[in-house]
Amino acid sequence: MAAGHRACNDVTVTPSTIDEIKTPALIVDQQAFDHNCAAMDAVLPGAALRPHVKAFKSTDLARRLAAAGHTAFCAATPREIEGMVAAGLGEDLLLANESLDVARLGALSENANITVAVDSDATLDAAIKGGIRSVLIDVEVGLPRCGCSIEEAGPLADRARAAGLDVRGVMGYEGHLMMVEDRSERIDQVGSCMSDLLAASERVGGKIVSGGGTGTFDSNTWCTEIQAGSYLLMDTQYAKLDLPFRQALSVLATVISVSKKGWIVVDVGLKGLGMDHGDPTWPDGEVFFCSDEHTTLCPPEMSAWSVGDRVQLYPAHVDPTVAKHTQMWLVDGEAVVDRWAVDLRHW
């Protein structure tokens, strides 16, 4: 989608430069984004990567990945799958999550190739009843969340096949290892988890072994496809690791108040920032605290700051930050080059 479209909130905006963007707003640095795409593609080209749309919730962005050869996607919510189908991106969609509300996806199977994860009789029953044609067996590999045991995986696959479903393989997310800072330790631990997933794969059959994420994109060499999404836009949490990805996402804000006591206040707060990993980072000074619609910042040189100045804050967690906004602006230096609607939000 080209720049200059009608934005949300009944405000017609046609920003051609970053200065003209109304704040608060999500900014994507095109050079960092392109770098991240290239760095990933060098390791995981085409079908070796199944990009996770939960990290960016935008079909405009997804379309770029499809054009680069990543035509299979995964998602965390039925809504994300629906939106991808509606955008014509339904070549190979995986709901990499359990849901009882999958009949809405089964109804889309004429126009798309949809696979859902199941980890229990109840979720498999919902898939069968909902007209889902393909499943992966979701196996718990150490993260205390969804997924069945290795022992449960085989019988579940047998039941699915008996019901006429295509069992494409297994998935298992080693999410508890994403932030292991030491690379060799990360590889060792991922290997241990993935040996469990491969054991389940032997019992389940099918070609797919799906797992991984941005933190293990190149250390998880056991999966046939990696489910990564955060690498595209990045956040300060992932930036702590030794990853070849750059921080592409920031939140643009305007200084609305300057205090002689040593702080400035900008017009984005915790309603525009994912806060579960903590405060955002401001490269030009200290983040004092965030409240609903404000962030108070402490610059090293107060005299340099006036009401109306702009700042860019770097969020600690990309996924929930993006989900709080309706759009992202792609910028190249000062120029606004595209607007990406965040159109896969909610459930």
| Interaction between residue 17 and a second copy (CB under 8 A) | no
Burial class (CB in 10 A: 0-12, 13-18, 19+), 262: exposed
The DSSP letter of residue 21 is S
The answer to whether residue 325 forms part of the interface with a second copy (CB under 8 A) is: yes
Determine if 50 is a binding residue for a second copy (CB under 8 A): no
- Which residue type is seen at 79? R
- Residue 259 touches a second copy, criterion: CB under 8 A: yes
**Shortest Å, Cβ 34 to a second copy:** 25
Smallest distance from a second copy to CB 158, Å: 19
Residue 184 binds a second copy (CB under 8 A): no
Q: Which two tokens stand for residue 287?
A: 């983040």
Residue 261 sits in the site that holds a second copy (CB under 8 A): yes
Of positions 60, 98, 174, 338, contacts a second copy by CB under 8 A: 98
CA pair distance 39, 249, nearest whole angstrom: 17
Q: How many CB atoms lie within 10 A of CB 269?
A: 19
Q: Rounded CA gap, 128 and 328, in Å? A: 37
Which is nearer to a second copy, 221 or 257 (by Cβ)? 257
Which of 36, 99, 214, 220 is in the footprint of a second copy by CB under 8 A? 99
Q: Is 110 in the site for a second copy (CB under 8 A)?
A: no
Non-local CB neighbours of 266 within 8 Å, separated by 6+ positions: 23, 253, 254, 255, 256, 294, 295, 297, 311, 313
The token duo for 238 is: 């992932």
Q: Does 2 bind a second copy (CB under 8 A)?
A: no
Looking at 34-42, 154-162, 236-244, 289-297, which segment touches a second copy (CB under 8 A)? 289-297
Judged by beta carbon, residue 109 or residue 224, the one nearer a second copy is: 109
Instruction: Establish if 14 lies at the interface with a second copy (CB under 8 A).
Output: no
Instruction: Say which residue the tokens 């056991």 belong to.
Output: 222
Among 169, 254, 311, 341, binds a second copy (CB under 8 A): 254
State the angle between helix axes of 121-129 and 150-162 in degrees (0 to 180), rounded to the nearest 10: 20
Using alpha carbons, list the distances in angstroms from residue 286 to 120, 133, 257, 258, 296. Answer: 48, 52, 16, 15, 9
| Site residues for a second copy per CB under 8 A | 8-11, 22-24, 54, 76-77, 79, 82, 97-101, 104, 119-120, 122-123, 140, 144-147, 149, 175, 254, 256-261, 263, 265, 267, 270-272, 274-276, 288-294, 296, 306-308, 319-320, 323-326, 346-347
